[in-house]
Amino acid sequence: MVKIMSIEKEQPRETLEETVTRLAELSPLKYDQVRKTESKKLNIRISTLDDEVQKARCVSNNEKPSAVEELEPFDESLSTDELLTEISNQLSRHVFLPAGAITALSLWCLGTFSMNAWQLWPKCLITSPEKRCGKTTLVE
């Protein structure tokens, strides 16, 4: 009796660059599912893999990687009153401030978008003797 043994060729292993390129082509949801496994296979931290995949995505889209989000300009007319009301409402939801401070802070926030037109613009000092009143939340 003769045994026929098939010799399977071993698939060439993917290089690190090829793996990153393959992962960059995945959808964000699919990438999130496989990133932990892939980082273990490559013996690198997940954060390092995330950074490299993000760079590869930018290169494939001919974008320059940036730490700042690029926003689309708002194309409709906007009422300053509505904008100030919305800013005040958002601040009121997250920060405890004395009477009148919400209005002052809303105006200051709105003014920061046109501060290049002014030679002087006041700085906003945020202090409070109360703990957990929202100072850090306000700054963020």
pTM value > 0.85: no
**Predicted pLDDT of residue 11:** 61
19 contacts 30 by C-beta, under 8 angstroms: no
Distance CA 58, CA 55 (A): 5
**In the block, residue with structure tokens 């613009």:** 121
Domain boundaries defined on the chain = 16-60, 80-139
**Predicted pLDDT of residue 86:** 92
- Percent of the chain scoring above 70 in pLDDT: 86
CA 28, 32, 35 angle in degrees (round to 5)? Answer: 120
Distance CA 132, CA 41 (A): 43
**Average pLDDT of the segment spanning 64-85:** 80
Specify the DSSP element, H or E, that contains 39: helix 28-42
Which two tokens mark 83? Answer: 């904008």
105 contacts 97 by C-beta, under 8 angstroms: yes
**Average pLDDT of the segment spanning 14-39:** 89
Tell me how crowded residue 54 is: count the other CB atoms within 10 A of its CB. Answer: 13
**Predicted pLDDT of residue 94:** 83
**Predicted pLDDT of residue 30:** 92
